[in-house]
Structure 1
Amino acid sequence: MIACQHRSAREIISDAGAGAAAGAIAATFVCPLDVIKTRLQVHGLPEVPQSGRRGSIIVTSLQNIVRTEGLKGLYRGLSPTLAALLPNWAVYFTVYGHLKSVLHSHVDSSGQLTFGANMIAAAGAGAATSIATNPLWVVKTRLQTQGMRPGVVPYKGIFSALKRIAHEEGIRGLYSGLLPSLAGVSHVAIQFPTYERIKSYLAKRDNTTPSELSPGKLAIASSLSKIVASVMTYPHEVVRSRLQEQGQVRNAEIHYAGVIDCIKKIYLREGLPGFYRGCATNLLRTTPAAVITFTSYEMIHRLLNRVLPPDEKHSETHPKPDGHVKPNKVSKAGGEDDDNNLPQSQNPSNERTLIPFGKTDRLRAGH
């Protein structure tokens, strides 16, 4: 039996810092596609020339935005996106890592967390981040779509939007779309375990460990897991976007009373294709975003683990970020350690000395 798990400050800082940095890099890179995706979800398809192919929708949308709003229009909502993503990924990866450590006893024969345990950890982290950052996602959606509402007084920025929404619509306005966002937890509950499994498969095929996979292999794992999760859970994003956006419009022809009413009206007016508005654009946006986010996270996480000083007080066994349970290289003297994978030697004073693989120096227990 593995001892109770406690995460060190070093691990928490590493998870939070890597997650926030990776999210910011990805969000900035794909922001124009995010703006188009949100507008397609809310307002449907733009007018495309008869000779144009369906693939030209993205190009047409980009041209329309640049022509009517300038280049600035392509980056509408970037500030609240970054403001939401920094705490979003920081909280997510931190909570995800913590829940994996709590669920450390649910491991398979290879020492990796089971698919079910990974799903629980991913879902719990997703729920926590959805509740914490929902107001910022509402602002992001409103800012991205307000250029298409000429009769609406525009928001000046993040804080003015938050104040106006709170004043005009109350707490309910700030948390509009929260229910489908929580339903969207199913997305990460599918994506993260799938990502871990693909990493494990690639590592086993290459006779290495998930924590040592190359950036190219991480890109493959992250892209495949994102595509699977996106296709399976995309409809909730359409419902969420429409509920979040409608509070900006007064006397709208189509008003949704709630999640169920929104689902019914979308189905009656647009059929099943209505639930996949902007899905192709979303995949073009989220797939590279997932590759950037996960690969950046893994690389930054490894870098921070090398740069940050080790926490000597944190000496208990804990699961690694790749989902494998592995003992620390430093342990408390006299403590019980799961060090079956480390060769041991006895010194004259009967103190146990652990010799990590690949290291020539010896780390004396308790030092």
Structure 2
Amino acid sequence: MSNNDQTSGASHNIRGLLCNAGAGAAAGAMAATFVCPLDVIKTRLQVHGLPSTHKGSVIITSLQNIVRNEGFRGMYRGLSPTILALLPNWAVYFTSYEQLKSLLRSHDGCNELTTIGNIIAAAGAGAATAISTNPLWVVKTRLQTQGMRPGVVPYKSVLSAFKRITHEEGLRGLYSGIVPSLAGVSHVAIQFPAYEKIKSYMAKKDNTTVDKLSPGSVAISSSISKVIASVMTYPHEVIRSRLQEQGQAKNIVVQYEGVIDCTKKVFQKEGIPGFYRGCATNLLRTTPSAVITFTSYEMLHRFLERVIPQDKGYPQDRSRPSEHNRPRQEASGIDVKSGTDREQPPSQSNMKAPSIPLGNKEQLTRH
């Protein structure tokens, strides 16, 4: 491989990283802001169960309670750490996912990954994301639920929460809930392969390619895959939220010793429904969130690929360099004798090569 090839490859790699990270971070921030009130309600239902005075819709009652007790700002508790978490969360996730997909494609030698390949890429990206962003999710959970514990000194800000958790609980506090978070890798291991499969089906149905799907088709693919994954993996979110929140209550005996203990106690006290507390609210939150995130990501990614300049040595189409080399290699027997292809621009030789009889030197020299 020449130095130009290596430089261009590195340039394309950096450009790809920028496109994936930028589109993922922006899409995640947009979705988080839109669905934050539902996220607050979902987290509180997971941790504290149903409101004692609710009549009719749980969501409406919860919103009324939040506005009455905490004001309008209460609906957006935890938005700052949510965005702070989602910026690296989706940036790390989409970047890792695309890199792993590229790596697996190079080993398989084919353009389209198998379902197993998609699962491996999604799970690997999910694990990297969970480990790198868990402290931010702990802070988010604490900020969203602290208004429901009157005996707890509230955190004043994201920075205040980080300082206090680190000082009072150490690294263990920042990584509380990491085990169920890693178990949550199963969520993306279901969601992303399902998303890829549904996108492929939609592309075939619309007689187009996956990277040219309409926003409507992307929205349908993301919503269906999200509902499937959420319903199948929701119990781990309940366990994670309860473990992340309990460290805040200093004057109360620790309720759960760990994942297994928490699972047993939830099952004994609340049965199977206990593992699905807030699931309906979660679907109302995550489905539009997934639609916004994935559709925004796809559109922003396409936009960034157009805006961010490529290396000048390569045309826009990534397959063009290999196509440029191929006609010269195929016609090498003719080039040695006539030298005509070397004098022509590549585009001319590419266009005219198929119409030239191989044995006719007069026509070759004329071109």
| Distance in 2 (alpha carbons) for counterparts of 1:354 and 1:180 | 56
- Measured in 2, the distance between the counterparts of 1:347 and 1:180 equals 67
Equivalence for 2:96: 95
Q: Cα offset for 1:34?
A: 0.1
- Partner Cα distance (1:304, 1:135) in 2: 30
Write out aligned runs for 1:43-62 (5 A): 43-49=48-54, 52-53=55-56, 56-62=57-63
> After the TM superposition, which residues 130-141 of structure 1 pair with which residues of structure 2 at under 5 Å, given as runs?
130-141=130-141
Deviations 1:293-316 (A, max 9, x none): 00000000000111110134679x
Residues 80-124 of structure 1, C-alpha deviations (whole Å, 9 max, x = no match):
000000011111111111101100146698x41111111111111
The equivalent of 2:191 in structure 1 is: 191
- Displacement after TM superposition at 1:348 (Å): 1.1
Report the Cα distance in structure 2 between the residues aligned to 1:281 and 1:187, rounded to whole angstroms. 17
Pick from 37, 42, 51: which aligns with 2:42? 37
Match of 2:320 in 1: 329
Corresponding residue pairs, total: 331
Q: Deviations over 1:33-83 (max 9, x none)?
A: 00000000000001345xx43xx0000000000000000000000000000
| Contact kept? 1:14, 1:305, Cα under 8 Å | yes
| 1:330 shift after superposition | 3.5
Q: What is the aligned partner in structure 2 of residue 27 from structure 1?
A: 32
Partner of 2:148: 148
Shift of 1:8: 1.4
Please report how far the alpha carbon of residue 231 of structure 1 lies from its aligned counterpart in structure 2 after TM superposition: 0.4
Asked if structure 2 preserves the Cα contact closer than 8 Å seen for 1:48 and 1:57, the reply is no
Give the % identical residues: 68
Of the structure 1 ranges 327-336 and 130-139, higher mean CA displacement relative to structure 2 is found in: 327-336
Question: Which whole-Å CA distance do the structure 1 matches of 2:304 and 2:27 have between them?
Answer: 13
User: 1:279 corresponds to which residue?
Assistant: 279
TM-score, normalised to structure 1, is: 0.84
Change (3 A) 1:60 1:197: same
Aligned partner of 1:78 in structure 2 is 79
2:15 is aligned to: 10
SS of 1:8's partner is helix
For residues 33 and 154 of structure 2, what CA distance do their matches in structure 1 show?
A: 23
Kindly report which structure 2 residues correspond to 1:1-367, keeping only aligned pairs within 5 A, or say none: 8-49=13-54, 52-53=55-56, 56-105=57-106, 111-252=111-252, 255-312=255-312, 327-331=318-322, 348-349=341-342, 353=346
CA shift digits 1:252-305 (9 cap, x unpaired) = 366111111110111111111110000000000000000000000000000011
Change (3 A) 1:307 1:251: same
Amino acid at match of 1:329: R
Aligned residue type for 1:238: V
The structure-2 alpha-carbon separation of the partners of 1:256 and 1:208, relative to structure 1 and needing over 3 Å to count, comes to same
TM-score, structure 2 normalization: 0.84
Change (3 A) 1:202 1:171: same
- Give the letter for the 2:133 counterpart: T
Q: d(CA) in 1 for partners of 2:182 and 2:303?
A: 33
Following the alignment from structure 1 to structure 2, what is the Cα–Cα distance between the partners of residues 153 and 93? 37
CA distance in 2, matches of 1:351, 1:155: 71
Q: Is the 8 A contact 1:312 1:330 kept in 2?
A: no
The alignment's C-alpha RMSD in Å is 2.7
Post-superposition Cα deviations, 1:196-251, rounded to whole Å, max 9, x if no partner, equal 10000000011100111111010000000000000000000000000000000124
CA contact (8 A) 2:25 2:86 kept: yes
**CA–CA distance in structure 2, aligned partners of residues 332 and 163 of structure 1:** 57
Asked if structure 1 preserves the Cα contact closer than 8 Å seen for 2:324 and 2:346, the reply is: no
Question: Over alpha carbons, which structure has the higher Rg?
Answer: 2
The alpha-carbon deviation at position 175 of structure 1 amounts to: 0.2
For residue 119 of structure 2, what is the amino acid of its counterpart?
M
**CA spacing shift, 1:281–1:124, aligned 2, 3 Å:** same
The Cα shift of 1:352 comes to 9.4
* Structure 2 residues not aligned, in runs of 5+: 1-5, 328-338, 349-367
1:246, 1:227 → 2: CA distance?
28
Question: What amino acid maps onto 2:287 in structure 1?
Answer: T
Cα distance in 2 for residues equivalent to 1:115 and 1:243: 33
1:20, distance to aligned residue in structure 2 (A): 0.3
Structure 1 counterpart SS, 2:52: coil
Q: Does structure 1 retain, via aligned residues, the 8 Å contact 2:166–2:173?
A: yes
